[in-house]
Amino acid sequence: VQRQHHQKVRAVKHALQMIADGATIIDIGGESTRPNASAVEVEEEMRRVIPVVEALSKYDVVMSIDTSQPEVIRAAVDAGAHIWNDVRALTRPLALETAAELNIPVVLMHMRGEPTNMNQLDQYQDVTEDVIQELQQRLDQALAVGIKVENIILDPGFGFAKNAQQNFQLLNEFWKLNRMGYPILSGLSRKRFIGEALNGIPAQERAVGSVMGHILSIQQGASIVRAHDVATT
């Protein structure tokens, strides 16, 4: 219990520092979605996420919840969260229906498979066109269950089931996503392909490369960028 309290305090302090540095949305997640990351039980995800949401709800902070679990987003919204950020684009059972019922903004991200196997699923004819086509399928399903057009944000999923070359193609052709007609989130901060382009530097040293990626995304129409190094960005 004491460890969880310390984790909560640390997370809240970090979030408030990000707000002070200029962040407008704080993204809170209780499950790692890095390549080969193992799944987290719903109860554990709740224990990690909900206390942080409750603590931050006392401040004027827009909170996005990085989860694929309908139970987690329900509890988070009850505690004061505002946006659902789902790397699995509402593919879990009852996720689509839950998003429609909650009537909150939702980020639909492109990924194939799961974090445990997505690196084997990076075969594309044309990565940008294929990502657009596959996102469109998720979008159509979202609209079909009654999720409102104005609640949808799309994310091409940099680093998810894409190799370095494909990530750079997607970044260079980011503007093509605009034809889908929805706000686009660019989440390339500290991603491995940024490090590979900079001679394999570790994640915490990728701030400058990440900022360059953010600039390229924004120039091509990104509405939101997801950043770790907020002050630098």
Distance between CA 213 and CA 178 in Å, rounded?
Answer: 17
Distance between CA 87 and CA 214 in Å, rounded?
Answer: 19
Distance between CA 90 and CA 129 in Å, rounded?
Answer: 21
The one catalytic residue in 48, 162, 191, 206 is 191
Specify whether 179 is catalytic. no
The one catalytic residue in 48, 138, 206, 226 is 226
Report yes or no: 220 and 176 within 8 Å, Cβ to Cβ: no
Distance between CA 212 and CA 201 in Å, rounded?
Answer: 15
User: CB within 8 A of 114, min separation 6: which ones?
Assistant: 39
Cα 123 from chain centroid (whole Å):
22
Distance between CA 38 and CA 55 in Å, rounded?
Answer: 27
Report yes or no: 45 and 72 within 8 Å, Cβ to Cβ: yes
Distance between CA 47 and CA 125 in Å, rounded?
Answer: 41
Residue 37 φ then ψ, to 5°: -70, 140
Specify whether 226 is catalytic. yes
Instruction: Count CB neighbours of 48 within 10 A.
Output: 19
Q: Which residues are designated catalytic? A: 191, 226
